[in-house]
């Protein structure tokens, strides 16, 4: 796996998105409450339901280019990903907590994190520079996010330029840095020739450091005209020498790395007023990292002849003596013996003079990690050749917690499985614990807690330290009526058969191994029959399973296939229709031993199957719907008017009903919405009130309902979100909230045919999210259950119950979720929930409700889209607050003037 998402995936996303930015400095924890959504005429009735959201566990799956430890507080660490957001380390659970799930559809690029900075003067402060692409693929400018509660809530400042978390060179850094002596001062290195920027008000406003002389000049591929490979990688890291300042006074000596092979390091000795190129520095390389050992007065550089993270053929490590100006090449191997660049770099703060570095671009036979205990004078390495091709390792490696990291491989020496990694641009030694080290790879975070065994001659143990960090880009999802509850099609690691949503699967799909699976399907009436297609370095691009995805065998393919495209299985598993890249639409009977070209349908059409009639298949391209009634041999175009001609379009047929098709998609410049056909696409009806829709799926029907539950990612009544309908689209319930948005989620959605309300949502970098409803079976309160008479709760006199839960707490602050349930027989139409804090807590920010507070008394009022709550339904909201001492839960809640039961 070479990256966590191909740039093309983001380009597809960009085609369907419209720009819209938070106001500068506006609270960004969940679409700021003072920014009202645009009104949009609609006859769609919106209700609200409370969902519990989790990741389907995979653990990792993408590139982790940055790990940051706070230098003043033990166990406070952060990780950044190129498309999957930022995370904070939870020491108690030894797992990662996601921090950017609030990023919304319009700002999907903010899930790409270019850099992170943790404030050593005030550990509650953390900053993130966000944006995914510097070219037209991302419609928005970048931003600097700032948090004073360790990422529980954020404020955003839009930048006047783009920055690229998924651009070439993203493993260099950190480009964002906080002055350790005067923490109101921050610096940010910008790409694309935009230079060096500075904030003097803790990240609220930014201005260019016009005195900085060099905005960089290196591009990965100057001949590329897309704006991707030919982008100037710019200013790539900032490092302070904390000895040259004092508390409250700005640090005077600042070092900056530049993507310029002849001028890669600059220094200021007057707090950033003036800058100069450091004389005598190495040339011909880019400095990926610049780390200062202030105890010994050394600045170390890891260098590569390219910007990475994939490429790099030569590299060096140099040391600069800050007192004398002397440069020394301290590389662990001769330049002639390198076939890789150096990047990951860390100094042991407990034992100055001990440092480590990585050979990030050593793809074969493995990455290499180097360690020195004498300031780079001598080095040892993680593995050596004993007698080629055999290796001697200084480490043991246990991936039993994430077993798919072996890739199911059985390589010949000197390769091993699992590998130490690749794209190892982030490596950090815990500043408080010399035994703990973490490093990022293209697929995971590895770490050890007995690192100093390296120096004593015994082996240290490497294990995945990635739990909670989910970073896959999801292309397709399927939930069969029997067998595994979920099958996934993923970028870069292929996909999985998920038999337990809360456990890491044992192995990705193999035989064939597809680098990225683009589409999969199962036979509705024979769910053990499964097909998947995707990209691969060579044929085959298709695999079949007859045991629900447990085991696979390779299929043949038509001539000219270059990529996966889309694939559909007949309802009874008797045949398949495939629309691959590089070739036209084809059909096969059996399991792909031979293929014949379909007629009447254009190349590149999206294909699906009818879920009732095994002879019926559907196709779609550029506004025209196609139908086959002979197993995909011939297709007929249907003249349905008004369908989207441009943009991404996804459609699905309803299980068990022949000819029942739902179609979602379009673009902001043309037709865009949700359409329904009950006659196999001969006619389509557009649903009113749905301004935009991007994916549609089906799940188990609600109690008493005759039609399957619908799920869509859509914009309804001006609100973007994940929606559910139990009455064939007449009314809709938003089931996510502003704290759970996950950026771009348009690729795939499906309900679970066995569990009412359960939905699986694709993301472009945050893995697979699944949600379960608190609404039970959708039929209201369970007969015989009176929520107000639980012996453990004081009875309320109102038709309501409230659950209050503190979900996170830190020094001086906390986060809580509140669920209000309508236990009466009439719908609520607008609500206001009140309570009193006992310990002086103050609400600082609230999402999905509007807060007012008078002393200890708090009121939370409904907002435009969640004021209507049906009998038996629930609505949820959350908030962050400050603490003055204790944090006791409120003893009572009132809906207007009526007391609610608590539980």
801 token code pair: 């119950």
* DSSP per position, 611-671: SS-TT-EEEEETTEEEEESSTTSB-EEE--TT--SSSEEEEEEPTTSTT-EEEEEE-TTS-
Contacts of 461 (CB under 8 A, 6+ apart): 395, 396, 397, 398, 448, 449, 450
Q: How far apart are CA 247 and CA 165, in angstroms?
A: 32
How would you classify the pairing of strands 298-304 and 315-321?
antiparallel
Q: How far apart are CA 346 and CA 356, in angstroms?
A: 5
Give the active site residue among 49, 59, 82, 124: 82
What's the distance, CA 101 to chain centroid?
A: 8
Residue 693 in contact with residue 664, Cβ under 8 Å?
yes
Measuring CA to CA, which residue among 582, 578, 588 is closest to residue 519? 578
Measuring CA to CA, which residue among 112, 764, 170 is closest to residue 472? 764
529 token code pair: 């029959």
543 token code pair: 């695999």
* DSSP per position, 493-538: TB--EES-TTS--S----SSPPSEEEEEEEETTEEEEEEEEEE-SS
858 token code pair: 């708090």
**Which helix (DSSP H) or strand (DSSP E) does residue 801 occupy?**
strand 800-810
Measuring CA to CA, which residue among 401, 492, 475, 501 is closest to residue 769? 501
Residue 764 in contact with residue 4, Cβ under 8 Å?
no
Residue 82 annotated to the active site: yes
Residue 493 in contact with residue 443, Cβ under 8 Å?
yes
Measuring CA to CA, which residue among 476, 586, 477, 568 is closest to residue 523? 568
152 token code pair: 């529980």
- The residue assigned the tokens 């022949």 is 658
- The residue assigned the tokens 């000895």 is 243
Residue 492 annotated to the active site: yes
How would you classify the pairing of strands 898-902 and 800-810?
parallel
Residue 148 in contact with residue 810, Cβ under 8 Å?
no
Q: 11 φ, ψ to 5°? A: -60, -45
Q: How far apart are CA 602 and CA 724, in angstroms?
A: 33
Q: How far apart are CA 108 and CA 153, in angstroms?
A: 17
> Own/partner pairs for 664-669, CB < 8 Å, 24+ apart?
664/693, 664/694, 664/695, 664/696, 664/712, 664/713, 664/714, 665/16, 665/693, 665/694, 666/16, 666/692, 666/693, 667/15, 667/16, 668/16, 668/17, 668/18, 668/692
Contacts of 207 (CB under 8 A, 6+ apart): 197, 198, 199
Contacts of 590 (CB under 8 A, 6+ apart): 575
Q: How far apart are CA 342 and CA 175, in angstroms?
A: 17
Q: Is 492 left (phi over 0), alpha (psi -120 to 50) or beta?
A: left
**Of how many residues is the chain composed?**
903
133 token code pair: 């692409």
Give the active site residue among 49, 101, 241, 492: 492
**Which helix (DSSP H) or strand (DSSP E) does residue 15 occupy?**
helix 7-15
Q: How far apart are CA 808 and CA 827, in angstroms?
A: 32
Query: What Å distances lie between residue 323 and 15, 320, 349, 412, CA to CA?
Result: 53, 9, 20, 49
Q: Strand 516-523: give its sheet, edge to edge.
A: 516-523, 526-535, 542-545, 553-554
**Which helix (DSSP H) or strand (DSSP E) does residue 874 occupy?**
strand 874-882
Query: What are the catalytic residues?
Result: 82, 492
């Amino acid at each position: 796996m070479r990256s966590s998402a191909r740039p093309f995936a983001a380009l597809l996303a960009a085609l369907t998105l419209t720009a819209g930015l938070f106001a500068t400095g506006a609270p960004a924890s969940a679409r700021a409450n003072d920014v009202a959504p645009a009104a949009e005429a609609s006859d769609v009735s919106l209700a609200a339901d409370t969902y519990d959201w989790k990741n389907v566990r995979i653990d990792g799956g993408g590139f982790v280019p940055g790990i940051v430890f706070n230098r003043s507080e033990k166990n406070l660490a952060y990780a950044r990903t190129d498309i999957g957001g930022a995370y904070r380390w939870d020491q108690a659970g030894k797992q990662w907590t996601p921090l950017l799930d609030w990023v919304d559809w319009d700002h999907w690029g903010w899930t790409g994190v270019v850099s992170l900075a943790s404030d050593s003067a005030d550990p509650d402060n953390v900053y993130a520079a966000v944006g995914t692409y510097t070219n037209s693929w991302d419609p928005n400018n970048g931003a600097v996010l700032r948090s004073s509660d360790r990422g529980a809530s954020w404020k955003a400042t839009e930048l006047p330029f783009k920055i690229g978390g998924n651009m070439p060179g993203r493993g260099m850094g950190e480009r964002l840095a906080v002055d350790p002596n005067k923490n109101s001062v921050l610096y940010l290195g910008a790409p694309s020739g935009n230079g060096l920027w500075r904030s003097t008000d803790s990240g609220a406003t930014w201005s260019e450091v016009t005195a900085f002389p060099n905005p960089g000049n290196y591009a990965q591929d100057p001949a590329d005209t897309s704006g991707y490979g030919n982008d100037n990688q710019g200013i790539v890291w900032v490092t302070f020498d904390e000895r040259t300042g004092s508390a409250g006074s700005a640090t005077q000596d600042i070092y900056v790395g530049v993507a310029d092979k002849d001028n890669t390091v600059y220094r200021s000795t007057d707090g950033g007023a003036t800058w100069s190129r450091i004389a005598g520095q190495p040339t011909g390389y880019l400095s990926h990292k610049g780390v200062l050992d202030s105890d010994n007065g050394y600045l170390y550089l890891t260098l590569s002849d390219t910007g990475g993270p994939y490429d790099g053929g030569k590299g060096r490590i140099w040391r600069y003596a800050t007192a004398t100006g002397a440069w020394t090449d301290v590389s662990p191997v001769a330049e002639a013996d390198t076939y890789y660049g150096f990047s990951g770099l860390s100094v042991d703060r407990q034992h100055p003079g001990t440092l480590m570095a990585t050979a990030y671009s050593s793809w074969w036979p493995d990455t290499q990690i180097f360690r020195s205990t004498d300031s780079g004078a001598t080095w040892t390495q993680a593995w050596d050749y004993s007698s080629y091709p055999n290796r001697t390792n200084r480490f043991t490696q246990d991936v039993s917690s994430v077993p798919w990291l072996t890739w199911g491989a059985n390589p010949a020496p000197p390769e091993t499985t699992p590998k130490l990694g690749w794209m190892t641009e982030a490596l950090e030694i815990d500043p408080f614990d010399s035994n703990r080290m973490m490093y990022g790879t293209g697929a995971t975070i590895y770490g050890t807690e007995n690192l100093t065994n390296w120096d004593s001659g015994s082996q240290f143990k490497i294990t995945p330290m990635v739990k909670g960090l989910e970073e896959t880009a999801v292309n397709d999802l399927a939930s069969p009526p029997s067998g595994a509850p979920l099958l996934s099609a993923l970028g870069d690691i292929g996909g999985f058969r998920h038999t337990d949503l809360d456990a890491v699967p044992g192995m990705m799909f193999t035989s064939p191994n597809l680098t990225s699976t683009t589409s999969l399907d199962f036979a509705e009436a024979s769910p053990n029959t499964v097909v998947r297609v995707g990209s691969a370095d060579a044929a085959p691009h298709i695999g079949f399973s007859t045991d629900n995805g447990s085991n696979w065998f390779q299929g043949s393919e038509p001539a000219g296939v270059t990529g996966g495209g889309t694939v559909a299985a007949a309802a009874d598993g008797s045949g398949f229709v495939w629309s691959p890249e590089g070739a036209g639409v084809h059909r096969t009977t059996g399991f792909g031993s031979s293929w014949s070209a379909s007629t009447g349908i254009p190349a590149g059409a999206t294909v699906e199957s009818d879920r009732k009639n095994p002879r019926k298949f559907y196709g779609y391209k550029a506004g025209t719907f196609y139908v086959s009634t002979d197993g995909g041999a011939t297709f007929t175009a249907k003249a349905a008017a008004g369908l989207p001609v441009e943009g991404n379009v996804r459609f699905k047929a309803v299980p068990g009903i022949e000819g029942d098709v739902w179609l979602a998609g379009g673009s902001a410049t043309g037709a865009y919405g949700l359409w329904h056909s009950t006659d196999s696409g001969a006619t389509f009806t557009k649903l009113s009130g749905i301004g935009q829709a991007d994916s549609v799926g089906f799940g188990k029907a609600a109690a008493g309902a005759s039609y399957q539950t619908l799920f869509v990612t859509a914009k309804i009544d001006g609100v973007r979100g994940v929606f559910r309908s139990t009455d064939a689209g007449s009314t809709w319930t938003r089931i996510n909230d502003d704290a759970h948005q996950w950026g771009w989620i348009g690729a795939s959605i499906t309900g679970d045919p066995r569990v009412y309300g359960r939905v699986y949502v694709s993301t472009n970098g945050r893995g697979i999210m699944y949600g379960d409803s608190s609404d039970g079976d959708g039929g209201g309160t369970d007969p015989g259950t009176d929520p107000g008479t639980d012996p453990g709760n004081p009875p309320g006199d109102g038709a309501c119950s409230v659950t209050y839960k503190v979900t996170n707490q830190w020094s001086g602050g906390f986060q809580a979720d509140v669920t209000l349930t309508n236990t009466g027989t009439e719908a609520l139409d607008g609500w206001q929930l009140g309570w009193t804090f006992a310990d002086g807590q103050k609400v600082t920010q609230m999402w999905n409700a509007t807060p007012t507070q008078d002393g200890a008394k708090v009121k939370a009022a409904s907002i435009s889209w969640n004021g209507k709550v049906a009998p038996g339904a629930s609505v949820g909201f959350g908030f962050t607050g400050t603490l003055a001492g204790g944090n006791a839960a409120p003893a009572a809640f009132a809906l207007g003037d009526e007391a609610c039961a608590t539980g």
